[in-house]
Amino acid sequence: MDFQLPEELAILKQTVRRFVDKEMIPLEGKSLEGGKIKPEIKAALDAKAQALGLWLIDVPQEFGGQGLGLLARSVVWEELGRTVALPTRGVSITGPDVRPILYALSDDMKEKYLYPVIRGEKRCCFAQTEPDAGSDPGSMRTTAVRDGDSYLINGVKRFITGADEADFAQVMAATDREKGSRGGISCFLVDMDTPGIRLTTQYRTFTEEAPWEIVFEDVVVPANHLVGEEGGGFRLAQQWLGVGRVKQAARALGVTERCLEMGAAYAKQRITFGRPLADRQAIQWMLADAAIAVHGARLMVYQAASRMDEGGDARLEAYMTKLYCTEMAWRAADDCLQIHGGIGLTTDLPVERIWRDQRSHMITEGTPEIMRMVIARTALRAAP
């Protein structure tokens, strides 16, 4: 059993860290306008990332990408998590957001949707959450009814990030409501300019994100826009969400490292009552807790990613890792803000932005309550 990163991944990690420190952290507070990264800054970052070989790291080689494994990607995500120069989700300096479910398309549909996304010509959003179906997708009310050579979709989706910029949506809909998530949910690719689609409400959050509500009214979707088999959509989505949970955990690991760095540096320079904050036991314990958490979290992230790379079933590890790392990052961000005191509340430093982002991340990709429910259910099944 080897707990060390392979040499090539250790080199990759250091390469990304240098890039983050030199090119991204200096942009914090300057790169975003209205929650979106400035186009000229994004273009410059993309060009530099491509020059370093960081482009399309998660796209399989057969589709023109580098096809890095999940452990390698986790190493990259960990380092990128150390900066808030980019919006929290949906934007990366490693290439377009290619959703894994697109690789399951037929050859004709890949030409229409997958390759344009890889080339940056089209964008996709993921539409699953509904007003009454968030953590429980099996209760979704959006329906897709077969009508000859097409499906008729009706329903409402809520909190859909990037819906206003998407060319098409990956829509989860019930094709058999009685079966629910056990074979009754299907996935469709729906062009956003299809008649019957309306963006109704944009939700302003305390982060830079502003997701949308989408209404589908008698939206006609060709039958060949069904992804995979009818009733197999939930399974496909879970495969993608498992990787997404490891990704979120890896980024949370990087966030915690950054909070530890900032907290320790400020504690050494801030003088109170004639002594630096670093001399105070209360502050030392905050930093110690963050250091311990980083050590444990890194082992969890790397192990879960490695198991997925080996083809193992790491769903439980993904749940555990996402839960532990996002809660860890939230505590570290809260302690870092506390260490900084009043200056931490200002936008002069990235601390308050990190604090807001991490509270948001405890909700997305599965709430702590849902994570614990699944983990406990597994433990109970294993008990004699």
Match 């690991």 to its residue by tokens. 253
3-state secondary structure of 218: strand
Whole-angstrom Cα distance, residue 76 to residue 15? 9
Whole-angstrom Cα distance, residue 113 to residue 91? 19
Please confirm, yes or no, whether 365 is among the known catalytic residues.
yes
Look at the alpha carbons of 321, 59, 171, 156 in this order and tell me if their dihedral is positive or negative. Answer: positive
Whole-angstrom Cα distance, residue 97 to residue 87? 13
Whole-angstrom Cα distance, residue 365 to residue 89? 12
Exactly one of 130, 209, 213, 365 is catalytic; name it: 365
Beta 275-276 vs 32-33: how paired, if at all?
Answer: unpaired
Look at the alpha carbons of 344, 349, 351, 355 in this order and tell me if their dihedral is positive or negative. Answer: positive
Residues in contact with 38: Cβ distance below 8 Å, sequence separation at least 6, in sequence order: 31, 32
**What's the one-letter identity of residue 343?**
I
> Looking at the annotation, which residues are catalytic?
365
